[in-house]
Structure 1
Amino acid sequence: MSLKPRIVNFEETWGRLLETVQSVIQLGDIKRGTWSDRFSDVYALCVAFPEPHSERLYNVTKLFLEEHVDNLRKQVAGAGESLLSQYHRFWQQYSKGAAYMDQLYSYLNQHIRKQKMSEADRNFGAFTDTIEEQLMDIGELALDIWKRLMIRPLDKCLQELLLREMLKDRAGDDTQHTVLHSVINSLVEVEQYKKKQQLKLYQDLFEIKCLEQTGAFYRKESARLLQDHDCSQYMGKVLQRLQEEQLRSRKFLHPSSYHRVLEECQKRMVADHMSLLHSECRTMVRKEQRQDLSRMYELLKPITSGLSIMVEELEAHIIDSGRQAIAGLHGDNIPAQFVEAMLSLHIKFSEMITTVFNKDQLFTKSLDMACSSVVNKKLSSKHNSCRSPELLARHCDALLKKSSKGSSESELDDRLGQCILVFRYIDDKDIFQRFYARMLAKRLIHGLSTSMDAEESMINKLKQACGYEFTNKLHRMFTDMGVSDDLNNKFAKFSQEKETDLGINFSIYVLTTGSWPLGQSALTPFAISQELEKSVRMFEIFYSEKFPGRKLTWLHHLCTGELKLNYLKKPYIVTTTTFQMAVLLMFNNQDTVQYSELINSSLINEKELSKTVQSLIDTKFIEQNHEGPITENTSFTLNLLYSNKRTKFKITTAVQRDPPQQEVEQTHNAVDEDRKLYLQAAIVRIMKARKKLRHNILIQEVISQARSRFSPSVSMIKKCIEALIDKQYLERTTKADEYAYVA
């Protein structure tokens, strides 16, 4: 075939081409050679000499397609009840034939595209031609003709029949699925060549009416279902209908309609009956009807604000369940019961949120808020604090003590991790920190820790939860223990260098005053026993040489010592407090000692001394010579018949402990003082940065800064502001309710 332009007889060439085009549009059989010849004919017409026949070819092809589609329309219109089937059959044939024609006319299409204006030209008016005057590719032309001559004249009829078939399918009657899908999607396919508004015909002709029909159908359906079923059954039926409608949409409709149809169903069957569902929600939550709650969640989730009532009811139920569990605690081991109750509550409802509510963040947040409410409930209106921080600290203390039996390192670490879970819900974290520090100090000083690794692990967990500042003092307590070990080694070398024999094994802990919650309120005058005096004096000399300027304060009430009892049938090694040891050493040279002698020699105050003596009487180491209250004239005799199954044991250290209530009060008082200092420091920081600030804004800023440690009361913040004004850190300005920082 020559590619050179030549003179072409249009009528003769079009006659041959028309015969092939008629066969193509009807999907007839065409030989390969014939197809190639007709392809050449199209090319020849487009490049004919002296003038191309491309425009004429376009016009006659357009006329042929219009006549063909008009003829098909007449057949479809006269098909009666089988109109959709006839339309489907002709559309399948025509759309495929049009695609083949588009390939046959590919050279003409290239010629047309060169003449088409660009999108920029259309937008900015480079040409005056209208879009309708623009030539289309043959494939586009065929689809446009189908839309104009087939769909537009039959639009009302097609719409009515399509909606009727959709209604039949919803009612469960047989429908022609393939036909329905083909006809509906033809409304989209005929405009697929457009760059914009490709779905306009589909939406105007079918989708809008389909949504109206869907809404009307499910409005009636929901009313019928509510009349025949209770709420639980209704939700099951609605979910079934929604699932059916989703499948129906995917069988028949364009993907753009899926969510619109589903949304319409949800409006009519769920949103219109929200009051009913919400009224049943409370009962379902209280009875923990998981299947019904799962259904309700699935129905309400897509609705705007649909889950709000459900979330509130679940939160209230968790709070009630938690408070009932906490109120029922009784017996000796209340701290462990408290932690177990909170963990059980959290595990139970976490599992419920996972399985029923698909880990929805709204419900997870409600669980956190409910647990926080349970943990931070005040004991009564008279008490400004709750017991949770104290109980959790005591539980941690029990876990970390040597007496905690039957736990491997991994089990202990898991339990401590569970404690951190409860700890995160506590508002007054500073109270927990104070109790925990006191108990940690006792464990470290008296060697009661089950494992130093476990202690450090717990502190690191607290650090991750609250930051370095929260655990700073706890870390320094550990540091002091390590430094003390080093000091003991150096003191031993110092004693050897001085060629001094202390006569006893002597070790000390040097503790930083600001890091340890020991205080000095419990200090009592004490005259060190002669046996210990040399060791104490030597250590003071050693320490003053090594750290000149530092002052040592001896906390004798926390010291312990070991005595070997040689006066009995068999020797015993007994661990005692320093005060108990001082009393027992008085019997080294005599078997009977008067109470007045003990007072004069030990200088211990009478209250502490009487407790110490009573502990030795209770353990039968000494005997009181006559019954009645202890007075200065009371004498005590060493019990020479004492015996014990163990050869090494410890005398009870109950005298070291404060009464529980007194210890709690002391801790809370210390926390209150710490809070005042913390709030004053926060106020100064804020005012130093802002210079001037109104009262309410300052209150909010302080609360925001303190929230990580505790929830400060507004009255306490006001008192701190007044204290800072008195100290001349702040001053009131001429404006009402405004403060200024005094540099």
Structure 2
Amino acid sequence: MTQSDRRFNLNDAWMKISEGLKRTYQFQELSPSHYMDLYCHVLNYCIYTTPQARRANVHDIANIGGGELYDKLKKYLKSYLEKICKKGLKLQEEDLLRFYATNWENYRFSSKITNGFCHYLNRSWVRREDDSGRRDVYGIFTMAIKTWKSVIFEQFHEQVTKVCLQLIESQRQNEIINTLLISRVIQSYIEIGFAENSSVFNNIHQITSPSSAEVSFLKETEQFYHEPAAMFDISHSEYLKKVVKLFDEEIHRIQSYLRSSTLKELSKMFENVFIQDKLENIYVEAKELLRTDKYLDFVLLFKMVISVQKATTELRNIFEDHVHQMCVDAIERINNDAINNPKLYVETILEIYTNHLKLAHEAVHSEKDLKIALDKTCYKFINNDAVTKAAGNTRKTAELLARYCDVLLRKGSKIQEKTDLEEKFNQIMVIFNYVENKDTFQIFYREMLARRLVSQLSTSDDYEESMISKLEQECDFEYILKLRQMLRDSRDSKSLNNQYRTYHERNQLDNIVDCSVMVLNSNSWSFSTSSELIIPVELKTTLDNFTKFYTQQRSGGKLTWLHQHSHGDVQTLYTNPRYTLNVSTYQMAVLLLFNKSSHWIVEKMQDETQIQVNLFLQILCGLLKNKLLKCVEINDDDLKENDIKMNYHIEIDDDFKSKKIKINLNLPLKLSKKKDIEDSHRTIDEDHRKDIQAAIVRTMEVRQTLKYKLLIQEVIQQLSSHFKPEIPVIQECIEILIEKEYLERQPNEKDILRCLA
């Protein structure tokens, strides 16, 4: 091919390319076949380079086809934009913005298409030029954007920016403006800023620097708020609301037509204008707002300083101190009553917690900060308040919380009638999370669950299961294993009683007593062995029959009767009307003596029943007080156990009268109740020591040698999820293990322990 033929072909190709450019930028239809023709023309233009130029490896654009086409494209776009520019010279205000935005979007779209059919030019010549070190050559789309900047942007951007800021100013004055129009303009600024700093093939999403419009927006915003900031009065809640509202409005503007990255700069600007110089005043006012219960104003204040780390930290500390003091004051006010009133104690804490948690939620963005402060406060005061100090140990909180659960889950609770128990359970778990001695809670909860199940006073098996499930979620399966077994025993006992009735009918057993028996797994229930009792003859046949049945059902099973937890009904046959008395097994044994004789001496009664003396006197005293029995030697209504002598005469009171036909005499015995509480605390102390010793042994078996202080730290860390071990107790356990030769001190380093196990 001759040089003139080549030139002719290239001119012909350019004519077709320029015709395609015209159709593209005038938004005329461009079919897929026409698009591919343009792609081929660009390809042909690029590859028809003289052999001499290729061998010389020169960069003279005039002698290389790609360079010629690149130059022609650039001139075409510049000429096209200059014509557009003339059309907008006389436009003003929104008309100018609309002109700029519309032409930008059309031009950008068309340039994307042009970049597509010039793909080969980008891939071959443009990339080769960039690899050779040239920095004045760009991909076709980037080149098109730069051309827009040099022709249109440079001509109009100051005027366009000014109009945008005027519209924003109008919006601040509560006028309605076209925010979409501003957003379209800002998007062009952002993309132009990207093109200005880009290399050949940068991705537009990498742009991070602010556009000129964003810089101007921030500058104008700062100037706009200088005057209201000078009038700033932190003590007026209406002004706080206004400041927060202004900031929210500016955030909305950024979301409407600027980039989210501008928000950081806006926050800094608001911080400088409204906050930094007034921090001390803000702290003073925050304390006053909390002191006067103006919680919503405190939330507004928190929102206002949310971007200032120093301020939010200080306000969180102020909030934490305030809540702690409120809790301390509230518990001190009820201290005398709360130590024996779990409902008062727990609900006082819950009320304070709920109110301040609501405050934390209302703070929205600062919710996490205030929730952290609330958590720290609750953990601190719940385990060390006036009640725990009065009780002399930190376990009191766990005990009262367990007793509150018992109040909720026991039949006849007035709380059940007024509230949703599931919601109450959730509230209990809130406090439970802050309790250090979770093992103490478990021990008391287990004992009270046992009493509810044995006395058939549980409000519902479903509620019992629900509460246990919540405990399992917070702790682990092992924590609730015995509780679940107790519920299972209760359910299984119902089935076992049905089987016994069938067995009774099939074998035609002659029982004068209708009984229901609960069979409990001794590994799960915390009941101690009952005091000695000679079973009355009226009960013996029934108990023997059930024992025989159970032995046949459960080979190898052994029953131990827990008389202190048994009860039943007896009827008075000597009165008119006849009364039904609900009594404990011990009370029943005493009353049934009068089937043998109507007169007894105290000593003989105790000998016949073999009930432990102190317990027997307490039972007898109760029956005398209730006028079922009488003693000729006693006339004092204020009777005490010590007033009863072993030689006194006791007889049935034939004149017994009561307004109730069914009378409950099965009330907790003081001696038994006191013993249970003492046993519980003794069990807790013993279990703690066992757990501490086990943790020490586990740690030392792994470490073999360890410093004394580090061992104490590791033990505390291991056991803190169940209880917080006291350092003196840990030290005592270490000494015990040294005496037992599990551990020894290093001869030359007394602060280092070595494992001997």
TM-score range, shorter chain: 0.7 to 0.9
Residue 55 of structure 2 corresponds to none
Structure 2 residue 635 is the aligned partner of structure 1 residue 630:
no
SS in 2 for 1:623: strand
2:263 alignment partner, one of 235, 259, 263: 259
Does the CA-based 8 Å contact 2:189-2:213 persist in structure 1?
Answer: no
Q: 1:225 aligns with which of 213, 231, 234?
A: 231
Distance 2:108 2:721 in 1: 72
Q: CA deviation at 1:695?
A: 3.0
Is 2:753 aligned against 1:739?
yes
Is the 1:219–1:269 contact (alpha carbons within 8 Å) kept by the matching residues of 2? yes
Judge conservation of contact 1:211–1:264 (CA < 8 Å) in 2: no
Give the whole-Å Cα distance in 2 for the aligned partners of 1:299 and 1:603: 77
What is the distance in 2 between the residues matched to 1:22 and 1:557?
Answer: 102
1:473 aligns with 2:482: yes
Partner of 1:32: none
Change (3 A) 1:296 1:419: same
Q: Secondary structure at the match of 1:576?
A: strand
CA offset at residue 556 of structure 1? 3.2
- Gap change, CA 1:561 and 1:289, over 3 Å in 2: closer
- Matching of residues 71-150 of structure 1 within 5 Å: 109=118, 112-113=121-122, 115-118=124-127, 122=130, 128=132, 130-132=134-136, 134=137, 137=140, 144=146
* Cα distance per residue 1:482-536 (max 9 Å; x no partner): 555566677778889999756544554444444322224xx54433434445555
CA distance in 1: counterparts of 2:612 and 2:112, whole angstroms = 113
After superposition, the C-alpha distances for 1:271-316 in whole angstroms (9 at most, x for unaligned) are 5233432332222233343443333233222333542222222233
**What is the letter of the counterpart of residue 225 of structure 1?**
M
Deviation at 1:617, TM superposition (A): 0.9
CA contact (8 A) 1:688 1:741 kept: yes
Distance 1:280 1:167, change over 3 A: farther
Q: 1:167 to 1:597 in 2, by over 3 A?
A: same
Please name the residue that 2:375 is paired with: 368
Change (3 A) 1:145 1:358: closer
Distance, in Å, in 1 between the alignment partners of 2:601 and 2:648 is 6
Q: CA deviation at 1:641?
A: 1.7
Name the structure 1 match of 2:54. Answer: none
Q: 1:640 aligns with which of 620, 645, 654?
A: 654
Which consecutive unaligned segments of at least 5 residues does structure 2 have?
A: 29-33, 51-62, 636-642
1:527-566 to 2 correspondences below 5 Å = 527-533=534-540, 553-566=560-573
C-alpha deviation, 1:472, in angstroms? 2.1
Q: Is this contact kept in 2: 1:301–1:307, CA < 8 A?
A: yes
SS state at 1:360 partner: helix
1:8–1:45 Cα contact (<8 Å) kept: no
Whole-angstrom distance in 2 between the partners of 1:105 and 1:687: 72
Structure 1 counterpart of 2:588: 581
Q: Match of 1:307, SS?
A: helix
**Does the 8 Å CA contact 1:621/1:642 hold for their aligned counterparts?**
yes
Structure 2: which amino acid aligns with 1:217?
Q
CA distance in structure 1 between the partners assigned to 2:650 and 2:600 by the alignment: 5
Q: What CA RMSD, in Å, does the superposition of the two structures yield over aligned residues?
A: 5.5
Percent identical: 23
> Greater CA deviation, 409-418 or 8-17?
8-17
CA deviations over 1:117-169 (Å, ceiling 9, x no partner): 438x84xxxx545233x4874x76565456568878x9xx9779968995997
Q: CA deviation at 1:546?
A: 7.5
Cα distance in 2 for partners of 1:15, 1:489 equals 102
Deviation string, structure 1 residues 536-560 (Cα, Å, up to 9, x no partner): 5666677778878776554433333
Tell me the residue number matched to 1:669: 682
In structure 1, stretches of 5+ residues that fail to align are: 30-34
Q: How far apart are the structure 2 equivalents of 1:601 and 1:512?
A: 31
Q: Closer, same or farther in 2 for the Cα pair 1:591/1:261, shift >3 Å? A: closer
Once the two structures are TM-superposed, the CA of residue 674 in structure 1 deviates from its matched residue by 1.5
Report the counterpart of residue 733 of structure 2 in structure 1.
720
| Structure 1 contact 560–576 (Cα < 8 Å) conserved | yes
> Which deviates the most, 510-519 or 195-204?
195-204
Determine the structure 1 residue equivalent to 2:724.
711
Matched residues in 2 for 1:483 and 1:23: separation? 90
Identify the match of residue 397 of structure 1 among 384, 392, 406.
406
Cα distance in 1 for partners of 2:448, 2:648 equals: 37
Bigger mean CA deviation after superposition, 192-201 or 686-695: 192-201
**1:300 maps onto 2:309 in alignment:** no
Match of 1:310? 315
What SS class does the counterpart of residue 413 from structure 2 fall into? coil
**Structure 1 counterpart of 2:331, one-letter code:** I
Contact 2:439–2:722 (CA under 8 A) maintained in structure 1: yes
Say if 2:444 is the partner of 1:435.
yes
Partner amino acid, structure 2, of 1:517: S
How many Å separate the matches in 1 of 2:42 and 2:536? 124
Pairwise CA distance, 1:715: 1.8
**Partner in structure 2 of residue 463 of structure 1:** 472
Secondary structure in 2 aligned to 1:118? helix
Structure (1 or 2) with the larger CA radius of gyration: 1
> Structure 1 residues 206 and 538, CA, compared in 2 at 3 Å: closer, same or farther?
closer
Compared CA separation, residues 497 and 302, structure 1 to 2 (3 A): same
Q: 2:138–2:199: 8 Å Cα contact kept in structure 1?
A: no
1:644 Cα offset (Å): 3.1
- Kindly tell me: are residues 729 and 487 of structure 1, through their superposed partners in 2, closer, same or farther at Cα, counting changes over 3 Å? farther
CA displacement at 1:22 relative to structure 2: 14
Select which of 242, 248, 271 maps to 2:247: 242
Amino acid at match of 2:344: Q
1:322 is aligned to 2:336? no
Q: What is the number of equivalent residue pairs in this alignment?
A: 716
Deviation sequence 1:79-137 (CA, Å, 0-9, x none): 99999999998998799789879989998x56744652438x84xxxx545233x4874
Moved more, 299-308 or 488-497: 488-497
- Partners in 2 of 1:479 and 1:205 — Cα distance? 71
Question: In 1, are the aligned partners of 2:240 and 2:300 still within 8 Å (CA)?
Answer: yes
* Worse-matched range after superposition: 561-570 or 658-667: 658-667
User: Residue deviations 1:50-73, cap 9 Å, x none?
Assistant: 989966676577678889999999
Letter of the aligned partner of 1:563 in structure 2? V
- Higher mean alpha-carbon deviation, 277-286 vs 523-532, is at 523-532
In structure 2, do the counterparts of structure 1 residues 712 and 80 end up closer, same or farther at CA, with 3 Å as the change threshold?
same
Whole-angstrom CA distance in 1 between matches of 2:442 and 2:521: 18
Amino acid in the other structure paired with 1:742: L
Q: Secondary structure at the match of 2:309?
A: coil
Deviations 1:358-415 (A, max 9, x none): 5822323333333333432343657122533232222322333333369479944444
